[in-house]
Amino acid sequence: MPSTKAVDLAAHPLTTWQGPLGLPDFTRIGDGDFSGVFDAALKAHETEIEAISGNAETPTVENTLAALELGGEALDHVSSIFWCRAGAHTNEAIQALEREISPKMSRHFSAISMNERLFARIDDLYQRRETLKLDAETLRVLEKTWKGFVRSGAKLDAEGKKRLASINEELSSLGTTFGQNLLADERDWALFLDEADLAGLPEFLKSAMAEAAEMRGQKGRYAVTLSRSIYEPFSTFSERRDLREIAFRAFTMRGQNGGATDNTTVVRDMLRLRAEKAKLLGYASFAALKLDDTMAKTPEAVHTLLDPVWEKALEKAASDQTELQRLAAEAGSNEKFAAWDWRFYQEKLRAEKFAFDEAELKPYLQLDRVIDACFDVATRLFGITFEEKKGIATWHPDARVFVVRNADGSERGLFLADYFARPSKRSGAWMSALKSGYKLGHGSKPVIYNIMNFAKPPEGEAALLSVDEAKTLFHEFGHALHGMLTDVTWPSVAGTSVSRDFVELPSQLYEHWLTVPAVLEKHALHVKTGKPMPKALVDKMLAARTFGAGFATVEFTASALVDMAYHARPDAPNQPLRFEAETLEKLDMPDTIAMRHRTPQFGHIFSGDGYSAGYYSYMWSEVLDADAFAAFEETGDPFNPALAERLRKNVYAAGGSKDAEELYTAFRGKMPSPEAMMVKRGLV
């Protein structure tokens, strides 16, 4: 039971971080601590907001804007630890708290954004902004803050404000429910197999499946789970078509299995509330509301990017499927080619075309070596170094702690990383912050973390990654660098606080350095012999980079198009799953490829609001990243110092301190066209 005694925010381990290296002391934090500390921190922040809004003095940047930005420190501290736990190492107590805290937080921030006296002070500054002689970053923060208040309902009448607050609270609760339902479906399903069922599976996968079975109390057996790190290689290598079908159906039906964890009505209600919210705020659709503050600006601009890509991807996938069906027929299969056959025969086709398979690469992609490669590239590009500190308690024993230093040896911040899948962790991979880096007030050094879901090897064995998993590690580390290299004054524009379709640029761009030959030669060393990946295998891997582009682009773009279809309507479909099916039918979606994220499991857009009407942004950023890496290729040096410094200054360090287009143009000299991305994907 949570404690009922008064909480001293100035001394509590959740709010006053006195652990090693200035981290929270996780050894002194229990699940029962959160509720009382949240309540006290919310109350303290309310008091701070009241002091700002009730100030009788003329509004200034210091007494209004800066005070607002620096307020709520205790709430920031407890929130960052709690949401880390909720995603990376949850349990029933944390999930119950999540259901309690999500609506409380929504109510709290709705009240702030609809506080008339507070908005009057912000509005006063905004109307006088041209006379205040503000530097460019401060002016941008003021303008973004004012627009944020307006987009959050500051100009609505009393009835409108009340309804919007209610909508936000309900959406917050529904997003929590969606995520918890999905985690339950992923956690509770496993297909237990015996040695006789493992035909075709490579040793690395057998080891991961044995470990997964043991974690679930079935030592001596093998488990197919719904973690991508097991599901995808199983679908790729298993010769048992019947088992591939079982796994495929379980994977694509997450969140749609009936009963308490079914997300169908959750999605319906979220779409209805989002449409109502947009209408209330004067937008034609929820997509119009969400895109208002992005590079794309409108749903039409998103379609200008996605539609040509979709057409090319369909053509490529159709051509690939013909080849895959040929292989299936040659193997003696009389069955109709199905979605659970695609990965299996695609791997066979890769072996035929390029004379290697994924299993040949894995021994050269040890997790620790790929981490070293990430750090090495960051050192060569940006001069920062990483030193691991052992024995420091975090949210889970698997999480690792690194001190990040500048080229002169001074401390830049901390990087934490938690790499292995477990039932208490939600699926996927992400970056977040325990603390942002900024200079306002006393300033703050960034404490950034990455979460992955790689299959954990048995004790004493090295974790081996697929090429896609190694790319994922580089991708999330690119986000982490965006947080760690931030060099701005204001917290609200620090690190990854940029428009949604720019935020993926630093991460997707960083992936390119994984396959730079000099990086592979140094870090892609065989797990047993220690020898570098042979040049012939590197050449084959690089030649095969665009192999499977039809499949990969169709499954991704279908998800982006369905996301936009849901949110670009003025109203919400009453039967979202029927709408999903009808949308895919109109798009001529092949029945042999599933969306990368079907609606009931599409956490990007329904487990919260983050990527709703924004899943396209990965591809929007991909246009930028293909062009950005081409800048290095044009110089003949993937570590060109002058270019690396422009990249650091204008992309990784600048946060949201300037308009995204202005930042990119300052780095590259111009905005790109989508052609470079289409070429990179092998679609043209």
Active-site annotation, residues:
476
CA distances in angstroms from 41 to 49, 80, 205, 347, listed in the order given? 12, 13, 46, 53
DSSP code, position 115: -
For CA atoms 57, 59, 62, 67, the dihedral sign is positive
Q: How many Å separate Cα 635 from the centre of its chain?
A: 31
Q: Say how far apart CA 562 and CA 584 lie, in whole Å.
A: 8
Both tokens of 240, joined, read 């048992």
Largest CA distance in the chain: 83
DSSP code, position 362: G
Q: Say how far apart CA 452 and CA 98 lie, in whole Å.
A: 21
Q: Say how far apart CA 213 and CA 533 lie, in whole Å.
A: 32
SS (H, E, C) 387-408: EEECCCCCCCCCCEEEEEECCC
DSSP code, position 503: T
Both tokens of 291, joined, read 């895109």
Both tokens of 391, joined, read 């024995």
Residues contacting residue 569 through CB under 8 Å, at least 6 positions apart: 275, 285
Q: How many Å separate Cα 441 from the centre of its chain?
A: 30
Q: Say how far apart CA 83 and CA 470 lie, in whole Å.
A: 25
Both tokens of 598, joined, read 């079907």
- List % helix, strand, coil for the chain (3-state, nearest 5): 60, 5, 35
Q: Say how far apart CA 387 and CA 367 lie, in whole Å.
A: 17
For CA atoms 470, 475, 478, 480, the dihedral sign is negative
3-state class (DSSP) for residue 198: coil
Both tokens of 131, joined, read 């006379």
DSSP code, position 64: I
Query: Euclidean distance between the first and final Cα of the chain, in Å?
Result: 61
Q: How many Å separate Cα 525 from the centre of its chain?
A: 29
* Residue recorded with tokens 């970053």: 137
Q: Say how far apart CA 269 and CA 183 lie, in whole Å.
A: 20
- Residue 223 main-chain phi, psi, to 5 deg: -115, 130
Burial 408-430 (b: 16+ CB within 10 A, else e): eeeebbbbbbbbbbbbbbbbbbe
Q: Say how far apart CA 166 and CA 664 lie, in whole Å.
A: 38
Q: Say how far apart CA 668 and CA 646 lie, in whole Å.
A: 9
Give the angle subtended at the CA of 244 by the CAs of 243 and 248, to the nearest 5°.
Answer: 120
Give the angle subtended at the CA of 670 by the CAs of 664 and 674, to the nearest 5°.
Answer: 90
Taking a C-beta distance cutoff of 8 angstroms, is the pair 596, 557 a contact?
Answer: no
* Cα radius of gyration rounded to whole Å, the chain: 25
